[in-house]
Amino acid sequence: MGVDTGRPLVTVVIPVRNGTATMGAQLQALACQQAAPSFEIVVSDNGSTDGLQEFLVNASAHWPKLDIRRVDSSTKSGVSHARNEGLKQARADIVMICDSDDVVCPTWVRSMAEALETYDGVGGSLDELALNPPSSPMLAFAKSSLPVALAFLPYPVGANCGVRRNVWQALNGFDEGYLYGGEEIDFFWRLQLAGYKLGFVPQAVVAYRHRTGIRNNIRVAYWHGIGTCQLAARFRTQIPSQSALTIAGIWWGLFLRLPQILIANRRLGYLRRIAHHVGLIVGSLRYRIINLA
Residues in the chain: 293
- Does 99 share its domain with 73? yes
Question: What is residue 2's predicted lDDT score, i.e. its pLDDT?
Answer: 41
- Does 195 share its domain with 220? no
Are 78 and 179 contacting, i.e. CB atoms less than 8 angstroms apart?
yes
- Domain boundaries, position 275: 214-287
293 inside domain: no
Question: What is residue 3's predicted lDDT score, i.e. its pLDDT?
Answer: 42
- Does 219 share its domain with 152? no
SS3 label, residue 24? helix
The interaxial angle of helices 214-234 and 264-287, nearest 10 deg, is 30
- From 175, 207, 239, give the residue that closes a domain: 207
Q: What is the mean pLDDT of the chain?
A: 89
SS3 label, residue 263? coil
- Does 148 share its domain with 256? no
Question: What is residue 1's predicted lDDT score, i.e. its pLDDT?
Answer: 40
Where is pLDDT greater, at 215 or 255? 215
- From 176, 207, 238, give the residue that closes a domain: 207
Query: Whole-angstrom Cα distance, residue 83 to residue 158?
Result: 10
Residue 252 has pLDDT above 50, yes or no: yes
Per-residue pLDDT of 207-245, as tens digits, reads 999 888 788 888 888 988 999 999 999 999 888 666 555
> Structure pTM?
0.89
Residue 74 has phi, psi (to 5 degrees) of -85, 0
Per-residue pLDDT of 57-73, as tens digits, reads 999 999 999 999 999 99
- Does 69 share its domain with 156? yes
- From 190, 207, 224, give the residue that closes a domain: 207
1 inside domain: no
- Does 181 share its domain with 232? no
- Does 20 share its domain with 41? yes
- Does 231 share its domain with 196? no
Per-residue pLDDT of 116-144, as tens digits, reads 999 999 999 999 999 998 877 766 565 67
What's the number of domains the chain is made of?
Answer: 2
Find the CATH number of the domain harbouring 123: 3.90.550.10
5 inside domain: no
- Does 124 share its domain with 264? no
